[in-house]
Structure 1
Amino acid sequence: MNMNVTDPYCFTLAALFSLTLVLSLAIRYLRKPKGDQLPPGPTRWPIIGNLLQMVKNRPTHLWIHRVMKDMQTEIACFRFAGVHVITVTSSDIAREVLREKDEALADRADSYSSNLISHGYKDIIFSPYGESWKLMKKVMVTKLMSPSTLNKTLGDRTLEADNIVTYVFNLCRLQSTIKLVNVRDVALTYSHAVMMRMMFGQRHFEEPAEDGGLGRKEREHMDAIYQAIDCFFSSNISNYLSFLRGWNIDGEEAKLREAVDIINRCNDPIIHERMHLWRNKNGKETEEDWLDTLITLKDDQGMPLFTLDEIRAQCKNINVATIDNTMNNVEWTIAEMLNHPEIMEKATNELDMIVGKDRLVQESDIPQLNYIKACSRESFRLHPANAFMPPHGAIENTTLAGYFIPKGSQIFVSRLGLGRNPKIWDEPEAFKPERHLYDRARDPMGVTLMEPDMRFVIFSTGRRACAGTKIGASMTIMLLARLLQGFEWTRPPGTSQIELVSAESNLFMAKPLVASVKPRLAPHLYPKMQI
């Protein structure tokens, strides 16, 4: 059921206050654990808990962090109606969540957005912990993200790394005087193209854009993916009061439905056509991309392992998982470098020393690019894509930091809280890549994008860790290295500093980064665009 609300805020307040009269909910929502102490938290209303404060204090993540700072606590409990939401900003407690209590906290939170995006929990990101999820995770790790598969798709990733430097090079040639480039658009073009190549074996849905960038349908697809991600991470009251789902009280559900419809309109024709080809004896015979793998996997009885909806859900997972981190990290890193030219100089000097200027940097060079990886790590620490990790759900009663955590609680590990925690980091607000340069005698593998100690969050750890950490790290460092090697980046004329301000709905830069750029390699090194 859909409800058009002319004043969503007033309607929300009225709905919340009316709940206090619902006696049927009182027993459930007023029930408190006996003999166990919950983590500290703000004062709550009867029945609705902190739901009213959540609605009044947007964006919610800023309010939550402000409350925790005022209370001087690194673990807090907010009660939104009948749901205990536990927030964590300590690396010690984060490790407890993701290691010691990993299995007890391996569930996911139920919400309108996660249900819709996952086709009713038929995926790996949003599905509850259980046998179906374990099967999906196994396939993702052993099939799609296996070393052999990633080696097989190396050519696709290299092709798009070539395309992106040529795309920027062509943008420079098209501008007669000042060469200004939208860095976010460049990062999105690369991220989307790599994802499309590996998943669907093609760069475009329909006709390619003339300049080699995102076409109309690709841009529409990308915008819908980000809208779906924003809706998932937003704090909607229907996340905690399930009987309000479908009423579009916050206005977010309508946005989400539109976004998911767009993603389906882009993905589904390719999926349906591919399934038809595999079922046709004269159709496809060899697996060429991730979609082929998902379609051709068989169970013990020789039947297709996944249903149509499970394949659609997994494709959406890949859409969501391969886009935001790479784009966000590279844009913030270049923005920070523009404000610290000495850091950019060190990074380009590393490239010139290790790779040179006679060939383009390759994935095989990444292990040696320690300073560039340190810059990327520092951006992940200081500028995560979202304030919190996707919430973990408590399968059973447990404890964290000595506090009681009831079954059904949602645990939010704060990316911001960890990355900017002064107990963990010296000068936490400063961009200092050198802090990530390890002692090579102690760490012979050099700098990586792994962070198992949870001092900040890149790809997480534990059962719910990202299955694509290797591909995510490779995409991010490859894009950053290619842009730094191929071009000289400076602030736009008349700009003394890049404004480093985060958006509110997510933590992307509030305004897309625009920078002056000029090629720094010989013209013949910029390949011909391959679309």
Structure 2
Amino acid sequence: MIQICFFFTYFLPSLSTMETWFLILISLPISVLVALFVFNPFSKKLSQNLPPGPPTIPIIGNFLLILKTFSELESILRNLHKKYGPVVTLKIGSKPAIFIANRSVAHQALIQNSSIFADRPPALPTDKIISRNQHNISSAFYGPNWRVLRRNLTSEILNPTRVKSYSHARKWVLEILIERLKSRSKSGVVCVVDHFRYAMFCLLALMCFGDKLEEEQIKEIERAQRNLLLSFSRFQILNFWPSVGKILLRKRWEELYRLIQDKENVLIPLIRARNKMKQEKTNTESEPEQTQIHSYVDTLLDLELPEEKRKLEESELVALCSEFLDGGTDTTSTALQWIFANLVKNPKIQEKLYMEMKLNLSAKYSNQDAIKEEDLQKLPYLKAVVLEGLRRHPPGHFVLPHAVTEDTVLNGCLVPKNGVVNVMVAEMGWDPEVWEDPMAFKPERFLRSNGEEIEFDITGSKEIKMMPFGVGRRICPGWNLAMLHLEYFVGNLVWNFEWSRLDGEDVDLSEKEEFTVVMEKPLQAHLSPRI
């Protein structure tokens, strides 16, 4: 009963009146059931075989954790790992949640036993609605539908030939971004992340829908996508006993449906326009291939789900397009902000990067030219800066949860079938046994003493040292494209501007969680054109 008292003193002050009464109401019948769970011999036997973790009263213990964000949970888990070891069990929801903070154990699970750990757990009620019953790549169950959706993305959009065909789009977006930054730099101070995010939405919207959209359209897409992304934490309480919550928290549910409908209102006209264009082309003579922009939507319109033997519904197209946009915009703009925060904070690193480009590329480019993608391979220090940014500040501190398809032993403990496994991404990249002075920003770690690039496997197939894109069968399918975008935009923005801190101010690297882990105080900097 001590935990119940702790719950009410810890959580209720932060909740609305309706949420408070909702939790009090459902806690009464639950309290009656606690004794049954506590004295259940099967439950005790199972718990004894699981990886160690703190004792908790079943169901009531869920209250203490289900409303916490991952960033709040992260600090709790660090302390638990110090006490219990590299693998810890928490009781969150109906199944044990197992958290891995050790790279060797993570490799054993996600690489050596990749097929067993490749599934996803059933989505929480709110996530199930947003993902349209888990009909997107990130949340789909491991099986035929997931394979078709992922294969379509990797073969039709992310293959090297197709990625190269979007080079004109990257140059167009770079010109937009440079022009916006030049315009804002005249006022003296630039808050850069908004411009990064806008540029990435321009690029990903073109790849998704096949058209260069107007600024107003881009801003509408950005607004609709981010309104839902940034509201996730507000809807966590809806996942606890939703049948009751839909009555007592009706307005919160209505808000969720309103945000989803708003997103569909923005994306569906773009999908329909592309479908109409596709149908018209089949009835007329096709344009030459080189003049067509092959879009993600194009690949989805004729796709058939093998398990259900049907084409995708319109709402499922929205879920996949939304996933594509979020996956390429928020994560990339977050990573760009963290990298430039460290370049501003460490001007010697920035100068070394600029001098590498000047030494290797000055004969080919003037300051007015954009560095071409084929020349990025001549810049090992640039790649080292990007890798160090991803190591030190991974946009996501956890991979998406994995579900286990059969009982298996991990680190000497049972991971039961249908158990949920989470991997702490940031802890991998901050491991002092692998990285000297891990919290420092040192791109030189990825270079040999003579400045040559060290071959580094970011996929973790042989050994996990960092995993900003995840590893194994569920690794982010767009990791290669993300690396290209980061190198291309970091290189060109340093080539065009000198970035410096505000007078008398240091760069604050404090974090907060949104959809990704972002700077608590967005980066502001002076930008001086190098021309």
Same fold (TM over 0.5): yes
Look up the equivalent residue of 2:26 and give its one-letter code.
A
Confirm whether residue 51 of structure 1 aligns to residue 63 of structure 2. Answer: yes
Listed one character per residue, the Cα deviations across residues 197-232 of structure 1 (whole Å, up to 9, x for unaligned) are 11112233xx43xxxxxx4x5334324434544556
Give the match for residue 481 of structure 1: 491
SS in 1 for 2:409: strand
Of 52, 70, 95, the match for 1:40: 52
Confirm whether residue 126 of structure 1 aligns to residue 139 of structure 2. Answer: yes
TM-score by length of 1: 0.84
SS in 2 for 1:31: helix
Of 489, 492, 501, the match for 2:502: 492
Instruction: Compute the displacement of 1:8 (Å).
Output: 2.5
CA distance in 2, matches of 1:309, 1:29: 45
Give the match for residue 206 of structure 2: 197
Give the match for residue 91 of structure 1: 103
Contact 1:5 1:11 in 2 (8 A): no
Contact 1:106 1:394 in 2 (8 A): yes
Of 155, 158, 174, the match for 1:145: 158
CA distance in 1, matches of 2:53, 2:93: 14
Contact 2:205 2:218 in 1 (8 A): no
Contact 1:123 1:317 in 2 (8 A): yes
Q: Which moved more, 1:278-287 or 1:290-299?
A: 278-287
Give the match for residue 20 of structure 1: 31
Look up the equivalent residue of 2:354 and give its one-letter code.
T
Give the match for residue 72 of structure 2: 60
Instruction: Compute the displacement of 1:502 (Å).
Output: 0.5
Q: Which moved more, 1:236-245 or 1:285-294?
A: 236-245
CA distance in 1, matches of 2:447, 2:241: 47
Listed one character per residue, the Cα deviations across residues 476-527 of structure 1 (whole Å, up to 9, x for unaligned) are 11111111111011111232x1111111444200122110011103xxxxxx
SS in 2 for 1:498: coil
Instruction: Compute the displacement of 1:56 (Å).
Output: 7.2
Question: Alignment RMSD, CA only?
Answer: 3.3
Confirm whether residue 393 of structure 1 aligns to residue 403 of structure 2. Answer: yes
Identity score, percent: 23
Look up the equivalent residue of 2:500 and give its one-letter code.
T
Give the match for residue 391 of structure 2: 381
Listed one character per residue, the Cα deviations across residues 13-63 of structure 1 (whole Å, up to 9, x for unaligned) are 553454232489959997355596211111111343443255479853234
CA distance in 2, matches of 1:63, 1:29: 32
Contact 1:328 1:508 in 2 (8 A): yes
Give the match for residue 351 of structure 2: 345
Give the match for residue 406 of structure 1: 416
SS in 2 for 1:488: strand
Give the match for residue 77 of structure 1: 89
Structure 1: give runs of 5+ residues left out of the alignment. 209-214, 522-531
Instruction: Compute the displacement of 1:239 (Å).
Output: 4.6
Give the match for residue 116 of structure 2: 104
Instruction: Compute the displacement of 1:319 (Å).
Output: 1.2
CA spacing shift, 1:376–1:30, aligned 2, 3 Å: farther
Give the match for residue 135 of structure 1: 148
Contact 1:278 1:285 in 2 (8 A): no
Q: Which moved more, 1:399-408 or 1:278-287?
A: 278-287
Confirm whether residue 278 of structure 1 aligns to residue 289 of structure 2. Answer: no
Q: Which moved more, 1:112-121 or 1:278-287?
A: 278-287
Of 315, 320, 344, the match for 2:321: 315
CA spacing shift, 1:73–1:514, aligned 2, 3 Å: same
CA distance in 2, matches of 1:5, 1:383: 34
Q: Which moved more, 1:257-266 or 1:223-232?
A: 223-232
Listed one character per residue, the Cα deviations across residues 389-441 of structure 1 (whole Å, up to 9, x for unaligned) are 11111122222212111122211111222222323322121111111225799
SS in 1 for 2:519: coil
Of 418, 423, 429, the match for 1:419: 429
CA spacing shift, 1:166–1:46, aligned 2, 3 Å: closer
Q: Which moved more, 1:11-20 or 1:194-203?
A: 11-20
Give the match for residue 465 of structure 2: 455
CA distance in 2, matches of 1:276, 1:368: 43
Instruction: Compute the displacement of 1:366 (Å).
Output: 2.0
CA spacing shift, 1:34–1:446, aligned 2, 3 Å: closer
Give the match for residue 170 of structure 2: 157
Structure 2: give runs of 5+ residues left out of the alignment. 1-14
Look up the equivalent residue of 2:404 and give its one-letter code.
A
